[in-house]
Homo-oligomer: A and B are copies of this chain.
Amino acid sequence: MTNLRIIPLGGFGEVGKNMTVIEYGNDAIVVDCGLMFPESDMLGIDLVIPDVTYLKDRPNLLKAFFLTHGHEDHIGALPYILPQVSAPLYATALTRGLIEVKLKEAKLLAKTKIKTITTDSIIEVGPFTIEPFHVPHSIPDAVGYAIYTPAGLVIHTGEFKFDPDPIDGRPPSIDRLRSYGDDGVLVMLSDSTNAERPGHTPSEQVVSQTFEEIFNEAQGRIIVSMFASNISRIQQVINTAVKHKRKVAMAGRSMVANVKMAMTLGYLNAPEGILIPVEEMEHYPNHEIALVCTGTQGEPTSALVRMANEDHRQVKIKASDTVVLSATAIPGNEELVHRTIDNLFRLGANVIYQSLRPVHVSGHGAQEEQKLMLELIRPQYFVPAQGEYRMLVLHGRHGQATGIDAKNIFIIENGQVVEFSETKGFRAELLEVSNVFIDGLGIGDIGSVVLRDRHMLSRDGFVVVVMALDRQTGKIVNGPDIVSRGFVYMREADDLLEEAKRRVIKLVSKGRMHPDAATSAIKDNLSQFLYQRTHRNPMIFPMVMET
């Protein structure tokens, strides 16, 4: 008797690095392989990726990766994970395009097998039959997956909203979703992002309308910032610009690359001659220019932030500019976003952001859309996915509201396996899965010890005391010298550090000491002394040599 197992490796109890294993017997597929940006206490960490120990320990288990859409938190970990566990990738054309850019950069493209799928595809992998279905999201070509298994049908919704009037002209396939429900669904994993938001997420047309108003009002240039992956939003700016006879330029490396790729694949449409290189902007009057760029999260190296800081090579902000931030701040980025808006205002620009006008709508369905999905699919079991813990809890409640029994709803976090036998679903083992940190070239070499040290150093810095003792007499032959950073301003702390040195000399002069004993005595003494004098706790490292 084989059980179906759902193994959450990322995105359950957190936002980001989405990755779910669907396992049956000796075969498994993975849905998504995303990365997460570090939380503020992950000091110096560049990225966080899922822990795939489970798959590495079972070398022949994984048969394929299925990607739902091209956002970083769904495909971004592929360059780091593929060298650890390899399998063919399945993705729609645009998602594939975005993946290929990444794999090329990582020199992994040649050795990776990728298959393009459409919403007409039926893919057989081991015991699984997989059908991608269309879902509207804030990037085109997003899909969910219907995964037929010997134990029953699994629905993974991907990330979705029920926008009846999306920019790409492809509304959600209500009938298809309902027909899965009619067939009978064992378990559904569904997008919990907006479980806190009542009602429906507004249609993208709301943003189109605001853009129309802004283009009507603006006398000077219009600069619209957004995520580089927000192809639909870029299309909206192009559409509005065409109507208002403005040229459109792009700024930001990722923006330029994505637009080029999306144009080539036909996901972005612009009439001949409307797009111009950013260098040519100055050849046109202000009122004939729209500029699309990155920087809505206040990222220090992004185009918009460079403009706000007056260090963008090609674009200087003018007092006649209208600047639009067409996104909301991801929690944790608020300070950087506010600083960027403030700096743009300081340069005299008219800044328009979500608090002032509806220049953004979420790519995720709100409560009523989550309930609609639940009502269409009518799963026997429900696993809220893709969200922080409170969102999973609330999404679970919405499931109950649509009639699912509380005992058939699994609020699980990364590592908590859920298993389905012929008769029931239940919580199986809890795997140990950790955050795998990327820092420079290191993958997973930074753990809690290094992070704790970074935290301590960031608060109070360090003090190193170096000294050489005579091996025979125990007398000081050199030093003590002190180096300190992040603790006090050295130039003004002479007295403090001189007194610290005198204490060290006095300690060591008491009699012959083993270097280890001296080290320990100095550390204790200086910790106490420096705390008493400053109420700070620098890390203290005495280094005592014998010569």
Contacts and interface: CB of A to CB of B under 8 A. Distances in A.
A489 B440 contact: no
A478 B544 CA distance: 10
Nearest to A531: B440
Given A334-B332, A460-B44, A483-B543, A196 B356 contact: yes
A455 interface: yes
A393 interface: yes
Nearest to A538: B44
A87 interface: no
Given A196-B356, A345-B390, A459-B44, A547 B331 contact: no
A505 to B, nearest CB: 15
A457 B355 CA distance: 36
Contacts of A394: 356
Interface stretch (A96-104, A148-156, A245-253, A443-451): A443-451
B439 A536 contact: yes
Nearest to A439: B536
A477 B547 contact: yes
Contact of A453 (B453, B486, B535, B541): B486
**Interface residues of A: mostly helix, strand, loop or mixed?**
mixed
B483 A464 contact: yes
Interface in A198-225: none
Contacts of A13: 342
Contact of A454 (B446, B459, B541, B545): B459
Given A356-B196, A453-B461, A488-B450, A545 B466 contact: yes
B478 A462 contact: no
A277 interface: no
A487 interface: yes
Kindly report how many copies of this chain are found in the complex they form together: 2
B462 A545 contact: no
Question: How many A residues touch the partner, as a band?
Answer: 35 or more
A133 interface: no
Contacts of A488: 442, 445-446, 450
Interface in A415-447: 439-442, 445-447
A279 interface: no
Contact of A543 (B196, B388, B481, B534): B481
A61 interface: no
A262 interface: no
Contact of A492 (B44, B445, B454, B487): B445
For A388, A457, A536, which residue has the most chain B Cβ atoms within 10 angstroms? A457
Interface string A118-146: 00000000000000000000000000000
A173 interface: no
Nearest to A43: B458
A536 B439 CA distance: 8
Contacts of A483: 464, 541, 543
Contacts of A41: 335
Interface in A482-498: 483, 485-489, 492-493
Contacts of A343: 389
Contacts of A478: 468, 545-547
* CB-based closest 5 A-B pairs: A440-B535, A458-B458, A44-B459, A457-B457, A342-B389
Interface of A: 13, 39-41, 43-44, 196-197, 331-332, 334-335, 338, 341-343, 345-346, 351, 355-356, 388-390, 393-394, 439-442, 445-447, 449-450, 453-455, 457-462, 464, 466, 468, 477-479, 481, 483, 485-489, 492-493, 533-536, 539, 541, 543, 545-547
13 contacts: A13-B342, A44-B460, A44-B486, A331-B334, A332-B334, A345-B389, A356-B394, A441-B534, A457-B485, A464-B483, A464-B543, A466-B466, A485-B539
Given A338-B390, A341-B390, A468-B468, 6 more contacts: A43-B486, A445-B492, A450-B487, A462-B462, A468-B478, A479-B545
